[in-house]
Structure 1
Amino acid sequence: MDAQSYNAALTELRTVRDRIKKSRAELTKLEADRDQRIARLAAHAKAKAERIAPAAGMSVADIVALAPQLAPDDLVAPRQAPEPVTPPETDAKATARQHAAAPARNDAQVQPAAPPPQNSTTPPADATPETSAPNAPRTLPSPPAGEEGDAWFSHALNLASTRPNFTQQARSTVFLDTTTGVLVHRHQTHHLDLAGRTAADILTAVFHTVPDGVERIYITAGDPWHRDADRYPYLRDAVTAWLNAPTPGWRTDTGRGRDRMAGHFVHARNPVGRYQSDDGTTHVEIRSVGEWFDLDTNDTPATVRDAFVLLWQALRRHWSDAVLMGSPSQTGRDLWTRTIPQRGQHADGFPVLSEELRGLLHATAGQGRNELITPPRVPEQLPALVEYDRTFAYAKHTWKSPVGTPRRITAATFASWSEKEQIRALYGCGHWHVRATVPDTWNHVGLLPAPAPGDRAWHYPAAPGTTFTTWAGGPELHTALTNPLQPWKIEILDGILWDDGKPLDDWAKKLKETWTNLTTQAQIHGDPQQARAAHLASRAVRAILLYGIGSFAQRPRMVTGTTPRAMERDVPADAEIIGFDDQQITWQRPTGFSRDPNAHPEWAAAIWSGARAALLSQRHRDDNTHAGALHTPPGTVVAFRTDALYLTQPQNWPYHHQPGDYLLKGHLPGPVTTPTTEEELLTLRNTGRATHATTRQEA
């Protein structure tokens, strides 16, 4: 084989590689659809694994792995549960009992349980045996036994969140509608010819119009990265191609200074393109304003500019050195660091957990609850679809967070405590490895997240008698033990316990006051454009808190890079090739956890747990009432979506415009065909919101 034939064969091989990638993506999509259909079939009262298996082209074992409730009796080992330790009646439980609609029942059951004897990932002896099915539920990790696991319960060496001793520098910013070509720079408006709306076209037009330099370009409309979306199977592929298209005079930014965010960020809807001039003197970002808030078709670049000005002015009332960074998450974390105490207990900062504990929290602490409940658990036809959205929800759960050196609480340690100590620990700042059992007469939604097939996928077991092993935060365990219907049985396998602290309280209070101020402006301002700008600014404050909390979680990083085609051998060995053209290859590779001084997944986990629990039950002290899914009749909950709840009937829940309150946001009168996919739910949601808005206007 000569060199020409060799190069031609390489080109053909790359074509086959791309076809395989597309085929695998389609196969994954089909398998996910199949698994969802199996789950719906398994909910039928007379469902049998033996009938579903041939219809799905799978083995009975594979079906049982997806739907454990279909396991034949002879596959399940008999359980020998120890005598439960029953906690004393608490005020919270007494209050919950006053609102109970169920008949009399046993008290809540919480008990220690011995962890698996050897490998920490071995399932408990009384669980359904594992199968080798590829779609079997994930087994969550836990710390190893003995000294090896105990060593996890520490902080990373010389790594802590500290108050910055510098002032962030503001960046020159413009706002561009790539559909109309309207560009707003400070108080000036320009009209650009963007030609094909490529990154090169945008950079050329903007720098020709603003010759003194721009460091950030916000796209307000047009989504230019989707311009060739019909040529690609997925939006992400179209975005990748747009970001990495040739940009004469520019190259991918390699990072600089403290804000070392080198390289493009590939995201299906809100990507970030980072470029530097060939001479290295100019650095610029192209970003989507969708990171901050959703826009209407009538929102102009000038309105968006005004929203950012109002946001900056409102934040300056609480932070004299506030600067709006590129994204809400960056801005949120920067503002938080400027609330770290300069004197007192935490003046030296907040230490970062060991990498092992951060990895454990990453694997075992999910974020928002997203669950669609389908027939037969709800009717085929709904009498209505009613949406309740918790206003500024996460701000409700920042008043208490974990601090100090984490302690390991083994099953044996937990068993040695008094009942009072056990209850106090479970209601404190902790993250617990538990075995939970759904009561035999349970007829409502699931209460605790459990690992499901797929990367970081979760579901919420609700079938009576189901036993499963998972990790959960204190707020969710509190709900499981004291809910207004029937307490669940909880067995402690292992746990992490911190001291209670308030590292986020000052930060969150300032953001809540900023949000309240801007929300009030939006309601009373006489100028419609300024009122709209204030509303957008208030949504941006929500994003700062929401994504700021998410950034504390510090997921393992995925780096995207490019390599010239002529230097293909330089692509990192552990990288996945995600695209290429005639000039360069685009790849991505995981880099694990960085030494981020502001990584605090324990704070994000605690807030997410509190928010998930509040979707189930939340007390309104001033009104002496409760709200949430568990305060609705069985069979009326259709879906959970992060901080929103979808029901079949309206509720008389109090709303005082406070963080965490349930706002009636949409009401679609029935009959409504029950949604069975997320797309169908979102379509009905949008219709319900429009219908509700029209009804309010007419009233």
Structure 2
Amino acid sequence: MDRKTYTAKVAELRPLREEIGKAEKMVAAAQAALDKLNLQRARRITELAGYEGAQAPAIAKASGLSVGDVVRIAPLLDPTPAAVRAAKADDQAAAVAAPAPAPVVEPVAEPVAAVAPALTRPAPVVEQPAPAPAPAPALAPVEVEDQAVAEQPAPVAAAPAASVAPVAPVSRPAVESGPRELPTLPEGPAGARFEAVTNGLVSKRPNFTQQARATVFLDAAAGMLAVRDQVVRLDLGARTPGEILDAVLATAPGTERIYITAGAPWHDGAERYSTLKDAVVAWLNTPSERWTTAIGSGRDKLAGHFVHQRQPVGRYAPAAAPDGPVTEIRSMGEWFDPDGADVVTCRQAFTLLWQALRRHWDDAVLMGSPSQTGRDLWSRTIPTTGKWAGGYPVLSEELRGLLHATGGQGRTELILPPRVPEQLPALVEYDRTFAYAKHLWKSPVGVPRRITAAGFAAMTGQEQVKALMSCSHWNIRVTVPQGWNHVGLLPAPVTGDRAWIYPSEPGATFTTWAGGAEVHLALSNHLMPWKVEILGGLLFEDGKPLDEWGKRLKSAWADLTNLSKLHGDERQRQAAYLASRAVRSVLLFGLGGFAQRPRLVSGTTALGEALPAGVEILGQDDTVTTWQRQAGFSRDPNAHPEWAAYVWSGARAALLDMKYRQGKEVVGYAGALHARPGSVVYFGTDGIALTERQPWPYRGEVGDYLLKGHLTGPVEHPTSQEQYLKLRGLGRAELAAAATKGADQ
């Protein structure tokens, strides 16, 4: 080809480029139209699902979709027999109750490791050994929309201690559960992505003020609405979403958010459904001539309903204008348990919460959930000067995925006999006050430095200790020492719903990841150092990205806590207490919001066709296979799983060993390792249940262990989390009654 021909060919590309551009615009417009039609079809299917006689096959045929697609859009249409679903639920419940074996590393192809030095500490008097412990299950927590994973027990009615009945032992079916292999840091160029950040993604201080939403509070049981400074009685009819919206907006036009304080209308008729979740779905999608599911608009506006058994979120728009103003129906339980408080008290609690936060943020706005509020308030503490004035970089997707897979959350574990007695002499509950606020003073920042086993071994002893005590995350091989007779110290990954257990049987060996706080404790605990081999790790720079946020929230919490004790009006005291619980939720769920999780996408493939790579099969019928797979992470500028993982690790360590200080001097200890072996019954995220009281002082400071319940024994050992929660409720009632009796005397 000569130069003249080359020039002519280049010139021919220009009109072709223009034609391609026009075609791309046409395709984009067609795709937008198709998306809109698909959305309308999905809305119609959702509306049809509210009809009691609706059937998925008929709707699938009319809509041109498979039955699997229809069921995914409207789970209420799932044709699976109720008995089958109930059996599946029973199997899952049995899996939670069943103990899992301690994971043991096979002695083949072991990676190179460096043994971490045991860190010495004065040892107190050693207690008499208890029977050799065996691993117990870690019970699965519940996840709430856009919030941290947190223990969400069902409300338990208090009853006199005398009503405790013996608990019949239950047989635990064998469950296939064993070691789960965790990801490791790859070698070579692939490993470089684990020491990098995401280009162009930075947590920045916002340059705008959030807009407040018109909010009302509704007692759906009594039909009482608190709007501004008035209380109005409403006729809610059958308490469907449409009737609630009609009644509320007729009284308070422009309302954008309705908090249900009592009544839980989404549980109406729950006995007709095989699961509580099915009942919630049916209620959210109750057909209405005037209201439809909101489709949202704008980049940051949520759309559609969020299904949760006890704290759902319904988002509705006028049927005549689906793109119009959205009104949310939410549960007050997202923020705090109303515990019988009336709508006026709940509204006053929200007012006190806003006032307390405004003393520390002049632009504070209460958003829909504590998680959203917490992250918004945090973003307004990002420094304007210093090294991080431009914001905090978001780690690479690979590194966030590693932290998500290897950074466990709060420890939830029921310890079963023979590690504890079949009959408990008592059940004593301790709860750490505003626990996570204790661990926000230091957090990892910037790009981590990778530490190999050889690199760790080459460090001096002082450098190794410093690395373990810094903001770090370690891949380790652990061996429980011979003679150990107490609870497990480090989480081990297992398959199944539990995800993590805490092996404690002498000689048990497992490979895991853990934060520096937990590794340091395993090496330096006062009872007996564990053997920990460093396989690799990530060492971050120590920073304070959460410190200012935590200080302001702690101050707001302290103000409200003091008000709840000192105010002369009983209603104001209760409102202040509820507001202090809301501050706790802002911190707890705000922190969990940093631990952004990978998105799950689902789809269907015709039978006989190849499935996409990396999918998990959810079900199959005569025509299609339904599957799901992880789709990576969204570009969330506030995604910082390294912060959540570090705080969770510190909190898990403090459940075992916490120091009381006066200035820099250590004046005492608390935690499970300072209780008698065989006396720890339960770990619950930020609390412990034991068989006897402990001499741990309570100073009212964050992190302190507060006595929350005492159930006098003998008490049959609970065999499930549900049984434990019932006993816990009785213990709290007994302690409260004892306190009232003491005050009267």
What range is the shorter-chain TM-score in?
Answer: 0.7 to 0.9
- Which residue in 1 is equivalent to 2:101? 67
- Which residue in 2 is equivalent to 1:355? 397
Is it true that 1:237 corresponds to 2:278 in the alignment? yes
**How much has 1:419 moved relative to structure 2?**
1.8
Match of 1:617 among 630, 641, 657: 657
1:104-253 aligned at under 5 Å gives the runs 135-211=177-253, 213-253=254-294
- Which residue in 1 is equivalent to 2:52? none
Is it true that 1:286 corresponds to 2:320 in the alignment? no
- Which residue in 1 is equivalent to 2:590? 548
The whole-number CA distance in structure 1 between the counterparts of 2:284 and 2:524 is 51
Match of 2:314 among 273, 277, 287: 273
- Which residue in 1 is equivalent to 2:168? none
- Which residue in 2 is equivalent to 1:117? none
Q: Deviations over 1:389-432 (max 9, x none)?
A: 00000000000000011121121222222222111111111111
RMSD value, Cα: 3.0
1:490 aligns to what SS in structure 2?
strand
Is it true that 1:698 corresponds to 2:728 in the alignment? no
**How much has 1:260 moved relative to structure 2?**
2.2
- Which residue in 1 is equivalent to 2:681? 638
1:680-699 aligned at under 5 Å gives the runs 680-699=723-742
The whole-number CA distance in structure 2 between the counterparts of 1:395 and 1:9 is 51
> Is the CA contact (8 Å cut-off) linking 1:172 and 1:216 kept in structure 2?
yes
- Which residue in 2 is equivalent to 1:55? none
2:696 aligns to what SS in structure 1?
coil
> Is the CA contact (8 Å cut-off) linking 1:102 and 1:485 kept in structure 2?
no
Is it true that 1:340 corresponds to 2:374 in the alignment? no
- Which residue in 2 is equivalent to 1:120? none
Is it true that 1:307 corresponds to 2:307 in the alignment? no
> Is the CA contact (8 Å cut-off) linking 2:428 and 2:692 kept in structure 1?
yes
AA paired with 1:596? D
Q: 1:210 to 1:422 in 2, by over 3 A?
A: same
**How much has 1:261 moved relative to structure 2?**
1.7
TM-score scaled by structure 2?
A: 0.77
- Which residue in 2 is equivalent to 1:87? 117
1:157 aligns to what SS in structure 2?
strand
The whole-number CA distance in structure 2 between the counterparts of 1:8 and 1:556 is 32
1:645 aligns to what SS in structure 2?
strand
AA paired with 1:504? L
Q: Which consecutive residues of structure 2, in runs of 5 or more, have no partner in the other structure? A: 1-54, 130-174, 604-614, 620-626
Match of 1:515 among 532, 536, 557: 557
- Which residue in 2 is equivalent to 1:390? 432
The whole-number CA distance in structure 2 between the counterparts of 1:428 and 1:262 is 41
Q: 1:68 to 1:576 in 2, by over 3 A?
A: closer
The whole-number CA distance in structure 2 between the counterparts of 1:176 and 1:610 is 39
AA paired with 2:403? L
The whole-number CA distance in structure 2 between the counterparts of 1:22 and 1:407 is 52
The whole-number CA distance in structure 2 between the counterparts of 1:281 and 1:17 is 28
**How much has 1:575 moved relative to structure 2?**
11
Is it true that 1:600 corresponds to 2:643 in the alignment? no
Q: Which consecutive residues of structure 1, in runs of 5 or more, have no partner in the other structure? A: 40-65, 105-132, 562-573, 579-586
> Is the CA contact (8 Å cut-off) linking 1:315 and 1:514 kept in structure 2?
yes
- Which residue in 2 is equivalent to 1:478? 520
AA paired with 1:87? P
**How much has 1:557 moved relative to structure 2?**
3.6
Q: 1:627 to 1:467 in 2, by over 3 A?
A: same
Q: 1:625 to 1:206 in 2, by over 3 A?
A: same
Relative to structure 2, which stretch is displaced further, 139-148 or 385-394? 139-148
Q: 1:371 to 1:8 in 2, by over 3 A?
A: closer
> Is the CA contact (8 Å cut-off) linking 1:102 and 1:486 kept in structure 2?
no
Is it true that 1:424 corresponds to 2:466 in the alignment? yes
> Is the CA contact (8 Å cut-off) linking 2:423 and 2:714 kept in structure 1?
yes
**How much has 1:27 moved relative to structure 2?**
4.5
Match of 1:18 among 70, 73, 78: 78
The whole-number CA distance in structure 2 between the counterparts of 1:560 and 1:286 is 27
AA paired with 1:415? A
- Which residue in 1 is equivalent to 2:457? 415
The whole-number CA distance in structure 1 between the counterparts of 2:520 and 2:270 is 47
**How much has 1:146 moved relative to structure 2?**
1.9
The whole-number CA distance in structure 2 between the counterparts of 1:274 and 1:193 is 21
1:174 aligns to what SS in structure 2?
strand
**How much has 1:223 moved relative to structure 2?**
0.7
> Is the CA contact (8 Å cut-off) linking 2:270 and 2:276 kept in structure 1?
yes
> Across the two proteins, how many residue pairs are aligned to each other?
611
AA paired with 2:641? P
Q: Deviations over 1:618-644 (max 9, x none)?
A: 010237110000001110000000101
AA paired with 2:735? H
> Is the CA contact (8 Å cut-off) linking 2:356 and 2:556 kept in structure 1?
yes
- Which residue in 2 is equivalent to 1:111? none
Q: Deviations over 1:444-489 (max 9, x none)?
A: 0000011122256211001110000111001111110111110000
- Which residue in 2 is equivalent to 1:627? 670
The whole-number CA distance in structure 2 between the counterparts of 1:481 and 1:494 is 17
**How much has 1:144 moved relative to structure 2?**
2.0
> Is the CA contact (8 Å cut-off) linking 2:127 and 2:677 kept in structure 1?
no
The whole-number CA distance in structure 2 between the counterparts of 1:78 and 1:159 is 41
Q: 1:473 to 1:530 in 2, by over 3 A?
A: same
Q: Deviations over 1:353-411 (max 9, x none)?
A: 11111111111111110000111111110000000000000000000000011121121
The whole-number CA distance in structure 1 between the counterparts of 2:498 and 2:573 is 40
AA paired with 2:654? A
Match of 1:656 among 699, 714, 727: 699
> Is the CA contact (8 Å cut-off) linking 1:363 and 1:456 kept in structure 2?
no
1:432-443 aligned at under 5 Å gives the runs 432-443=474-485
1:563-602 aligned at under 5 Å gives the runs 591-602=631-642
The whole-number CA distance in structure 1 between the counterparts of 2:629 and 2:236 is 33
The whole-number CA distance in structure 2 between the counterparts of 1:148 and 1:312 is 47
The higher-RCO structure (CA 8 Å, 6+ apart) is: 2
1:624 aligns to what SS in structure 2?
strand
> Is the CA contact (8 Å cut-off) linking 1:265 and 1:560 kept in structure 2?
no
**How much has 1:558 moved relative to structure 2?**
5.2
1:269 aligns to what SS in structure 2?
coil
> Is the CA contact (8 Å cut-off) linking 1:101 and 1:484 kept in structure 2?
no
AA paired with 1:263? G
Q: 1:144 to 1:21 in 2, by over 3 A?
A: farther
Is it true that 1:317 corresponds to 2:391 in the alignment? no
The whole-number CA distance in structure 1 between the counterparts of 2:123 and 2:616 is 58
> Is the CA contact (8 Å cut-off) linking 2:438 and 2:703 kept in structure 1?
yes
AA paired with 1:547? F
**How much has 1:256 moved relative to structure 2?**
3.1
> Is the CA contact (8 Å cut-off) linking 2:115 and 2:532 kept in structure 1?
no
Relative to structure 2, which stretch is displaced further, 385-394 or 549-558? 549-558
> Is the CA contact (8 Å cut-off) linking 2:96 and 2:498 kept in structure 1?
no
AA paired with 1:155? V
AA paired with 1:67? P
> Is the CA contact (8 Å cut-off) linking 1:100 and 1:485 kept in structure 2?
no
Q: 1:462 to 1:575 in 2, by over 3 A?
A: closer
Percent identity between the two aligned chains: 57
Q: Deviations over 1:288-346 (max 9, x none)?
A: 0100001122x111101100111111111110000000111100000000000112111
Q: Deviations over 1:498-549 (max 9, x none)?
A: 0000000000000000000000000000000011100111110011000000
1:409 aligns to what SS in structure 2?
strand
